[in-house]
Each structure stands twice: as structure tokens, then as C-alpha cells.
Amino acid sequence: MKHNEYKKLVQLALYSELNNDEQKELENHLKSCEECRKEMEMQKNLLNVISETEKKEIDDTLLHEARVQLRGALRMESGKQTFGFQFFLNLFEFFIPPYRMAIAGVTTLLIGFFIGYIFIKPSPEIRYITKNADGTENVFSQQDVKISNISFIDSDASDGEVEFEFDAVKPMHFKGRVDDPNVQSVLTYAMLNEQNPGSRLNSINAMVSENTSSFDPEIKKALITVAITDKNPGVKREALNLLKRLPYDEDIKQAYLYVLSSDTSSALRITAIKALIETVQSGQKLSPKDLKIFKEKSKDENNNYIRYLTKTILQEHD
């Protein structure tokens, strides 16, 4: 074996990727080759340095946030596949692939005629269709689509073609009941992901309005996430207030306790402890672990009012 090949074996050895024969061969070589021994030390040092400073562990908060956002996205996704759409999807499953596209096209055309017939007005939409390199069709632009962030993959037009990608945003308008699962999907997603704090706030208010007749467990999870992780204190406070309208349970209690013990805003800590006082006054019991948090708060809390409320809740519980 050549000397350079032993150097590669050194790398694989550090990752425990050698079989027994290769391992023995390398060990024998290392006994007689100082250069390779140094190489091994250098590589060990390099990998140790990288390991010490670069490894990023997943903490529970990050995983929780990712899961909550995913739930919102999946709700949006499943919303797309409801009603007639799902029916047609299931129908298409019966057909073999070569006919699927044709049937989809014909069906889409029929739906278009049907919708046109119902509303008795022609569609103002103009669609420009292009073909991708693999021959599939692609909607290039539509009348009301905003195109932005164009980035070129291949801007060299010498062969008559260019390739690029872009964001196409189409405004949608929707009106529906707040307890409609589709509306709730959009609102949950907005509550967790919308950049504008005002929109997040409006989504929360709409979601838990007086007219909401039932609460999806996902809404509770989303509200808790917002109450704990949102960057805007106003949005957090609204989420905390709205949690009070949901049936009280252990998750909600833990959210209040988390805010009380960890949030830097005294206003939010007050909101949380007031909510907890209300639950205790309505007969809910606190666990010894919860009481320990209150006892610690009654000593360590900087805010006088919160210290006073903490003592109140301890007295209420006794």
C-alpha cells in the first residue's frame, strides 16, 4: 500500500470505519512510520478542535418550536386536501400514471367550465405557460401574481435559454366562519409565523373570539408557544389572556408558571400570576412543585406587586 493511502486510512480509523484487516495493517504501519503517527495526531487535534467549538445540540425549546410550526404547516397542508380535492385525488389513484395527467387536465377544465357557468362571468386571469427542461408545464406568470427575488441559475443566453427561480406571490381573499377548520389552519399558521406582530395579534383574537364554539387542541398548543416564545410582549400578553378562555389543564398551568418564573417582563409575570390566582380561587389545586416555585418567587422576585401576589396565592391555597 502506498504511503498516501495509509494517510487516508488514518482518517477512516479516527471515525472507526476500518475493518479488522485494515486496522491491523495500519497499526503495523504506524509502528514503523513516524510521519503517519504525526499525521494521526494532527488529525485528532483538528477534529477535537472542531468538535469542541462547533457541535450544536438540539434543546427542547427549539424542538418544541419546530414541532409547533410544523403542526401549523401540516394543518395548512391537510386543508388543501379536503373536500372535492381529496375526492379527485382518490379518484386519480385508480388510474395508471400515463392517463393521470390527461384526466387531471380534463377534470380541471370541466371544473373551470362549471365555475364559469355558476358565476356567469369570464375569468379575467391570463395565464402564460412555459415548459420546463423535462417537458412538464409550468405557470410562468399570472395577472395578479407578484414576482420578486428573481435569481439566475443560468444567465448565459448563448444557447437561447436562461434558467432562474423567483418567488410568485398571489393575494388571496377569504371569508368564513372562525370555527371553520380551514380558517383555523390559516390563523394558527399566522399566529406562529406571521412577521407583523399586529397580524399575529389579530389572528390570536380572531381564533379565540366569543363566537368560537370549540377549541382544537392544536390552538391551545399554538397559544402556549406564542405565550412563551413570541418576541413581542403585547402578543405574548394577549396569548396569556386568551389561554384563560380555554379549559384549564396542566399544560396551561405550566405555561403560566414558565412565564412567571422566566419572563423578563414584569407585566407578563403579573398577567401569569393573576391567571394562576383565578384558577386557585376557582378550586384548582397546586402541586408541591408549583408551591415551591411560588415560595421561591415570594423571596427572590424583584417586583413588589408580584411578591405580594405570590404571598396571596400561597394564602389562597392554604
Partner 1 sequence: MSLSDNELIIQANNGNHSAFEELIYRYDKSVLSIALNYVHDNDDAKDIYQEVFIRVYRSLKKFEMRSEFSTWLFRIATNVCLTYKSRSKKHLQLSINEEFEEDEHKKSYELISDNRDPGELATNTELGSLISDAVDSLSDKQRITFTLKHYEGYKIREIAEMLNCKEGTVKKYLFDAIRNLRKNLDSVYAAAY
Contact 66, 221 (CB under 8 A): no
* Calpha distance 79→187 (Å, rounded): 12
Q: Which stretch binds partner 1 (CB under 8 A): 60-68, 101-109, 228-236, 272-280?
A: 60-68
* Calpha distance 203→16 (Å, rounded): 52
Check residue 12 for interaction with partner 1 (CB under 8 A). Answer: yes
- Pick between residue 128 and residue 152 the one whose CB is nearest to partner 1: 152
Check residue 2 for interaction with partner 1 (CB under 8 A). Answer: no
Out of 24, 27, 38, 49, name the contact with partner 1 by CB under 8 A.
49
Out of 1, 66, 102, 106, name the contact with partner 1 by CB under 8 A.
66
How many CA atoms lie less than 13 Å away from 111 in the CB half-sphere? 9
- Computed on alpha carbons and rounded to an integer, the radius of gyration of the chain in Å comes to 30
* Calpha distance 242→33 (Å, rounded): 71
Least gap, CB of 69 to partner 1 (angstroms) = 6
- Pick between residue 91 and residue 267 the one whose CB is nearest to partner 1: 91
Check residue 74 for interaction with partner 1 (CB under 8 A). Answer: yes
Out of 1, 27, 35, 63, name the contact with partner 1 by CB under 8 A.
63
Query: Across-strand partners of 129?
Result: 139
- Which residues inside 233-292 make contact with partner 1, applying CB under 8 A? none
Check residue 51 for interaction with partner 1 (CB under 8 A). Answer: yes
* Calpha distance 149→161 (Å, rounded): 19
| 3-state DSSP assignment of residue 95 | coil
Check residue 147 for interaction with partner 1 (CB under 8 A). Answer: no
Q: Which amino acid is at 298?
A: S
Q: Which amino acid is at 4?
A: N
Out of 8, 100, 127, 295, name the contact with partner 1 by CB under 8 A.
8
Q: Which stretch binds partner 1 (CB under 8 A): 147-155, 240-248, 258-266, 270-278?
A: 147-155
The C-alpha cell that represents 211 in the structure block: 363566537
Check residue 168 for interaction with partner 1 (CB under 8 A). Answer: no
Check residue 216 for interaction with partner 1 (CB under 8 A). Answer: no
Out of 148, 151, 214, 264, name the contact with partner 1 by CB under 8 A.
151
Check residue 152 for interaction with partner 1 (CB under 8 A). Answer: yes
* Calpha distance 50→71 (Å, rounded): 34
Out of 35, 77, 249, 300, name the contact with partner 1 by CB under 8 A.
77
Q: Which residue has the cell 428573481?
A: 150
Contact 142, 126 (CB under 8 A): yes
* Calpha distance 70→66 (Å, rounded): 6
Q: Which residues bind partner 1 (CB under 8 A)?
A: 8, 11-12, 15, 17, 42-43, 45-47, 49-51, 53-58, 62-63, 65-67, 69-70, 73-74, 77-78, 151-153, 163, 165
